[in-house]
Chain A
Amino acid sequence: MFGYVEPDKPELKIREYEVFRGYYCRLCKTIGKKYGQIPRLTLNYDLTFLYVLLDSLDIRLIEGKRERCLAHPLKKRFVVNPGPNAEYAAAMNILLTYYNLRDKWTDDRNAVSGAASRVLKGSYNKVRREYPEKCEVIEKHLEKLGELEKKGCDVIDEVAELFALIMKELFQGGHVCDGTANKALGWMGYNLGRWIYILDAYDDIEEDIRNNNYNPIVRQYKYNGENIPEFRRRIVEPVNFSLTYSLSEVEKAYSLLNIEKNKGILDNIIYSGLIVKTDKVIQGRGKENEEKSV
C-alpha cells in the first residue's frame, strides 16, 4: 500500500536530491538504532516525505555530515542530523508496516507477510509503549476499516475515509506546536491518505479481481465480468477526478503551511511527484520500478 509519495526525480536539483537522500538515510539509521537492523528494510517513501515535511516546519537550518552505512559501505553519503521528528517518523514507519503486514497475513494468509509481521512484533510493541494514544486511535480506525472491507462496502469515499483518518493522525503527531500548522497538516494528511488508498485500489484492480479480493472500486462500479481494460476505461474518469481533487486539496493545505525550508523538494513532490505517480498508475504503469531505494 505504501511508497506512492515520491519526488519527480528528473525535476529535482542535484542538491535537493542529495538532501532528500540525506533525510532518507537519517530515517533509515534512526530505525536501525532504535529497532535493530531488520526493521530498516521496511523504510518507505511516504514516511520519508512526512519526515521531510515535519522537519521543514522547524526553522533550524539543515545540517548533516558524510557517513558510511551498512547498505553502502564503500561510499560516504550525506546524512542529515537527527531532528526531533526523526524518531517519530521512524516509529510511525514501523507501525504502518506492521499493520499492513498483519493485515495481509489475516486476509490472504500470505506466508511472507506472516513471518515478517512476527519479526516486527517486538519493534511494534516498543512503539506501542512509546505512543499508546496514537496506536489506540489508529487501531480503532483500522478495525473499522477491516469491518467495512469484510462487509464489502461499496462506497469508495467511506472506506477511503478511514485510511485518510489514519494518515491525518500521523501527520498531526510530530513535534509541531503551532495550532494553525497542525490543522493544515491534518487536512493534508487526510487528503493524502485518501489519495493513497484510492490509488492503491485502482492499482490492484486486476489482481483483486483475479484473486476475488475486496476492492472498493470494483465494488462501487459493479464489475460484471467484462474484460479488465474495458472496466478500467469505464471507471477511469470519476476515479481520476477523485484522485486529482484530493491532490488539489493537499496542495491547498500545503500552501497554507508557508514552508521555506526544503521548499524545492516539497514543491517538487506536491506539484509534480504526486501527479506523475497518479498518471503512471492510471496508465497501468504503477508497478514499474517500485521499491527501488534512492
Chain B
Amino acid sequence: MKKNPYKVLGIKEGASYDEIKRAYRELVKKYHPDKYRNNPLADLAEEKLREINEAYESLMKNAGSYQYQESYSQSYENSNAYGDTGQSQYQYQYQQQYDNDLELEQRIRNYINMGNLNEAQRLLDRMTNRGASWYYLQGLIFLRRGWYDRGYSNIQRAVQMDPSNFEYRNALNNLERQTAGFRQNYYYRNTYRQDPDMCNICMHLWCADTCCECMGGDLISCC
C-alpha cells in the first residue's frame, strides 16, 4: 500500500515547493542515519527515510521540476563513502599490528553492526592489545547496550589515547552533538522563556525615551 506522500512529509496537499523542501529537509535531519548510528532502531529509521525519499521524489516528479531534485540519496552516499575512507585509513594505521588482533577487531565490528553484543564483548575480552581501538570498540558496545555513561567515558579515553584518529573523534563529537541537539530542540520549541520580562520592557522604554529626547522630542514626559 502506497502512502499519501503529503502525509508522509507531514504537509498539506498542494503545498508549495519551498514548503515541501523545508519539510523534507527537516525530516531527513530527524531520521538521518548518523543520528541512529549505534542504535537498535537503525533499521526502522532507514525504512522511514526510504518512505520519506519516495514521497519526496514522487512529489517532485509530479511537479515536473528537476531543479528541486537534490535527492537525499546523494548526500547519503557521500556519508557512506566518508565512512569507508575512515575505515580504510584506520585499517592502514593498524597494518603493522598483529594480524590476529586486526582480524578480531573486524569481527567485533561485524558483530556490533549485526547487534550481537554478547559475542562482540566476548571477542573483545580476548583482545590482548588494549590500545585506543580497544576502548573505542568497548565504547561502541556499551552505547549500543544503553550504557551511555560507560560508553561515553570509553570513547573519551580512546580519543585521549589517540587524538589524531578521525573515527574516534567523530564518534565523540557525535555523542556531544546529540545531547546538545536534544536540548536545542527544547529551546527552539519553547519561546515563552525568551519573551521580554518587565525589566526588559522598562529598559526598552527608557532607551526609546532617550532617543526621542536626543531628537528633540519626548516619549515619556515625566523623565
Contacts and interface: CB of A to CB of B under 8 A. Distances in A.
Interface string A236-279: 00100110111111011101101000000000000110011000
Contacts of A18: none
A28 interface: no
B190 A244 contact: no
A215 interface: no
B192 A245 contact: no
Nearest to B44: A256
Given A271-B189, A272-B190, A184 B44 contact: yes
Interface stretch (A39-47, A106-114, A153-161): A153-161
B182 A247 contact: yes
A248 B152 contact: no
Contacts of A155: 150
Given A190-B146, A241-B148, A11 B190 contact: yes
A272 B189 contact: yes
A164 B189 contact: no
B189 A248 contact: no
A191 interface: yes
B45 A242 contact: no
Contacts of A16: none
Contacts of A256: 31, 41, 44-45, 48
B186 interface: yes
B148 A242 contact: yes
Nearest to A156: B149
B41 A246 contact: no
Nearest to A273: B186
A94 B44 CA distance: 33
Contact of A252 (B41, B150, B189): B41
Contacts of A220: 149
Nearest to B47: A180
A8 interface: yes
B150 A249 contact: no
Contacts of A157: 142, 146-150
A255 B31 contact: yes
Interface stretch (B32-40, B93-101, B200-208): B32-40
B30 A244 contact: no
Nearest to B148: A245
Contacts of A10: 192
B123 to A, nearest CB: 21
A40 B70 CA distance: 56
Interface string B175-201: 100110111011001101000000000
Interface in B95-154: 142, 145-150, 152-153
A134 interface: no
B154 to A, nearest CB: 11
Given A155-B150, A156-B149, A271-B185, A245 B190 contact: no
Interface of B: 30-31, 35-36, 39-41, 44-45, 47-48, 142, 145-150, 152-153, 175, 178-179, 181-183, 185-186, 189-190, 192
Interface of A: 8, 10-11, 155-158, 161, 164, 180, 183-184, 187, 190-191, 194, 220, 238, 241-242, 244-249, 251-253, 255-256, 258, 271-272, 275-276
20 contacts: A11-B189, A155-B150, A157-B142, A158-B147, A161-B145, A183-B40, A184-B44, A242-B148, A242-B152, A244-B182, A245-B152, A245-B179, A246-B148, A247-B182, A251-B185, A252-B39, A252-B45, A256-B48, A271-B186, A272-B190
Given A180-B44, A183-B40, A245-B152, 16 more contacts: A11-B190, A157-B146, A161-B145, A161-B147, A180-B47, A190-B146, A241-B148, A241-B149, A241-B152, A241-B175, A245-B178, A246-B146, A249-B146, A252-B41, A256-B44, A272-B189
